[in-house]
Amino acid sequence: MGPGPSDVHPRVLRAMSTPLVGHLDPSFIDIMNEVQELMRYTFRTDNQWTIPVSGTGSASMEAAIGNLVEPGDTMLVPTNGYFGGRMESMAERAGGNVVHVDAPWGEPLDTADVQEAFDEYQPDVFGFVHAETSTGVKQPHVQELTSIAHDHDALVVADTVTSLGGVELEVDDWGIDVAYSGPQKCLSCPPGASPLTLNDRAMDKVLSREEAPRSWYLDLSLLEGYWGEDRAYHHTAPITNVYAIREALRLVAEEGIENRWDRHRNVASALKAGVEAMGLGLNPEDEYWLPSLNAVLVPDGVDAGEAIDYVLEHYDLEIAGGLGALAGDIFRIGCMGYSAKPQNVSFLMTALGEALEAQGADVDVDAGFAAMREELNQ
């Protein structure tokens, strides 16, 4: 129950035991088609260019940024979390000029600040993190951000690593040009084949570049041959990981994407109610609380690392601490995919309460349990 990976669904594990076939075998091409269609459903998009990138979520992130940002382009990136910094690094490696829109760690971007940054810098590409794994913050008012970008003829790249399949996300309706994700969070799938979607406007820019992207492996103009209509060899796909993500996406479709969003919110709401009644706070405000990744404030006098070690040693339960500016200040507790279950929240409350009491923290575990049960019973 940390920031990922989440527990893998048993059906996904079984799918991974399916015998291998060739990456151009007709049966595998059928699987590729199904994966792409299921991925469009989960992203809420009709984008033709919707594929699983062979690699972890950082590979789909680099495929997005490394193809979209050309040498000399200006990319606007956020400073309100760890993964905005990773966007910056990738854009610089692609030859782009990076400018910033600032917000404190643990807060979302302000629309007015984004407008001001666009007016000042006139960027070609704007990146934002929809669900910031390092801070537990969900970016609200996404349509306002994309409207500002499009008014300045810029393309929008969204990091949806901790939101896809668990938190409301509407790629087409919200005007997102490119979105990337990872399978190991709310999809409860092992890393190795990572979702990426681009609309026609973004793909037109990729295909009209004057200079080839610096990565051959992640060059989308070459991957077009494999994941497009030709199904021509580019590289050997991670067959087992494609089996896995197909089964994970099937589970999303069977549950229904809206129902899945509701489940994540309902289970995480019980966790939120429980830790707050216990006497702990959450870092983000309710408006931008991220159900899939809960940033619980560490009480005064408690060593976060010791508490994390305690729940792992005594309960075999994984949670994580803060990163960067929030290191030592928060616990990062995931409610993702197959792990987003009431029994997991109950187990967590026991483990965390005991770990905090072991350090003398003033917490009311009984009140936390009562609030958690009440929320689950609603």
pLDDT value at residue 89: 98
Q: Is the peptide bond before 5 cis (omega within 30 degrees of 0)?
A: yes
175, 151 contact by CB (below 8 A): no
- Residue 155: exposed, middle, or buried by beta-carbon count in 10 A (0-12, 13-18, 19+)? buried
* DSSP annotation of 164: T
Q: Which two tokens stand for residue 99?
A: 């400018």
pLDDT value at residue 92: 98
pLDDT value at residue 90: 98
| Residue-wise pLDDT tens digits, 343-361 | 999 999 999 999 999 999 9
Domains and CATH numbers, the chain: 10-255 (3.40.640.10), 257-376 (3.90.1150.10)
* DSSP annotation of 299: P
| Residue-wise pLDDT tens digits, 282-341 | 988 899 999 999 999 999 999 999 999 999 999 999 999 999 889 999 999 999 999 999
Residues with pLDDT less than 50, the chain:
none
| Residue-wise pLDDT tens digits, 233-242 | 999 999 999 9
List, in order, residues 6 or more apart from 101 with CB less than 8 Å away. Answer: 76, 77, 78, 79, 109, 113, 114, 117
- C-alpha torsion sign, points 68, 154, 173, 92: positive
CA distance 157 to 175: 10
